[in-house]
Amino acid sequence: MRNLLIFISKYNAFFLFLIFEVSALIIYIKYNSFQKATFVNSSNQVTGNIYGRISKLNQYLRLKDVNDSLVQENARLRGQLASAFYGDTATKHTVTDTVYHQQYTYIAARVINNSVNRPNNYITINRGTDAGIAKDMGVICSAGIVGIVVNVSQHFATIRSFLHKDTKVSAMLGDTKDIGSMIWSEDLGPNTGLLIDIQNHVKPHLGETVVTSGFSLWPAGIPIGKISNLKAKGGGFFLNMEVALAVDYSRLQYVYVVNNKLALEQANMEAQQKKDEQDNNN
């Protein structure tokens, strides 16, 4: 307090000048209508600019919440697409009764770790068993397929990226619907995959889309990429084609984990079929 008083007494002339100057300005503006209007307009403009900058700052700080909200909404909307349902149709005489049941739901998640430059690449997301994620679920993003869930904890999950030598996806040509498989190897680079096992009588064309067939973990029609080279080697009796991948794996931020409600039932049926075949062979 003593130092404050010493400071004021030392610069008292400056403070008196400042008080008189501000008082004069107030009187000048208050009793002159033109100057008053000019001051009000100027102060409104300055205040508006300040509020605008504060608003932009708040919007920037809220981007993560907005993105998370949009991703959750996208997951809900994906679950309402026709591809998420299957038709249960029964025909008796002339009466057809069709009921649509939901087969696929989607769980939104954020990518927190990712690699694209290794022979076997993995992705970590911030959702786990608490969110309903389980091993062997397919994963997609807004652009196309991403990979397969391989490990899950309570709050996190690890995805085997499509950019992995062991990933194999049942795929089909968008125009002819011929079925093949999509694979990847390190020598192709992170932007190219290989479509294999297409019968050699098929006549695909450059730029033709390649999508999921619906025979694996993903619904039918999820984008994989477009044919970029029709002359890939090693086909034998089948055609092998290079595919420009639809997903830029180096820029993944949000993904959707596909929950196939009928996956367990299908797996049990197929396991039983294999068991029956083994029993018959024995």
Q: Check if the beta carbon of residue 206 is closer than 8 Å to that of residue 227.
A: yes
- Within this chain, do residues 188 and 252 fall inside the same structural domain, yes or no? yes
- Within this chain, do residues 34 and 171 fall inside the same structural domain, yes or no? no
How many domains does the chain fold into? 2
- Within this chain, do residues 199 and 256 fall inside the same structural domain, yes or no? yes
Instruction: Show the domain range for 45.
Output: 2-61
What average pLDDT does the structure give for the chain? 77
Amino acid at 44: N
Task: Give the rounded percent of residues in the chain with a pLDDT score beyond 90.
Answer: 36
Q: Check if the beta carbon of residue 125 is closer than 8 Å to that of residue 156.
A: yes
Question: Sorting pLDDT into bands at 50, 70 and 90, what band is 98?
Answer: very low
- Within this chain, do residues 151 and 258 fall inside the same structural domain, yes or no? yes
Of 9-13, 79-83, 124-128, minimum mean pLDDT range: 79-83
DSSP the chain: -HHHHHHHHHTHHHHHHHHHHHHHHHHHHHT-HHHHHHHHHHHHHHHHHHHHHHHHHHHHHTHHHHHHHHHHHHHHHHTTSGGGEEEEEEEETTEEEEEEEE-EEEEEEEEEEE--SSSEEEEEES--GGGT--TT-EEE-SSSEEEEEEEE-SS-EEEEEEEETT--EEEEETTT--EEEEE--GGG-TTEEEEEEEETT----TT-EEEE-SSSSS-TT-EEEEEEES--S--TTEEEEEEEES--GGG--EEEEEEETTHHHHHHHHHHHHHHHHHHH-
- Within this chain, do residues 190 and 249 fall inside the same structural domain, yes or no? yes
46, 110, 142, 175 from 248: Cα distances, Å: 44, 16, 11, 23
- Within this chain, do residues 38 and 166 fall inside the same structural domain, yes or no? no
**CATH number, domain at 195?**
2.40.10.340
What's the confidence (pLDDT) of residue 49?
A: 59
Please indicate, yes or no, if residue 280 is contained in any of the structural domains.
Answer: no
Span 206-232, mean pLDDT?
89
What is the rounded CA–CA span in Å between residue 216 and residue 16? 83
- Within this chain, do residues 128 and 9 fall inside the same structural domain, yes or no? no
What's the confidence (pLDDT) of residue 279?
A: 73
Of 90-104, 128-142, 168-182, 214-228, minimum mean pLDDT range: 90-104
- Within this chain, do residues 142 and 27 fall inside the same structural domain, yes or no? no
Please indicate, yes or no, if residue 172 is contained in any of the structural domains.
Answer: yes
Span 239-248, mean pLDDT?
93
Whether the pLDDT of residue 227 is over 70: the answer is: yes
- Within this chain, do residues 136 and 229 fall inside the same structural domain, yes or no? yes
Whether the pLDDT of residue 79 is over 80: the answer is: no
Residue at token pair 């649509």: 100
What's the confidence (pLDDT) of residue 237?
A: 74
- Within this chain, do residues 105 and 51 fall inside the same structural domain, yes or no? no
Q: Is the dihedral of CA 204, 242, 223, 171 positive or negative?
A: positive
Q: Check if the beta carbon of residue 12 is closer than 8 Å to that of residue 20.
A: no
- Within this chain, do residues 139 and 249 fall inside the same structural domain, yes or no? yes
Please indicate, yes or no, if residue 270 is contained in any of the structural domains.
Answer: no
User: Shortest CA distance to 238 belongs to which of 189, 191, 193, 194?
Assistant: 194
What's the confidence (pLDDT) of residue 191?
A: 95
Structure tokens at 13: 């002339």
- Within this chain, do residues 52 and 105 fall inside the same structural domain, yes or no? no
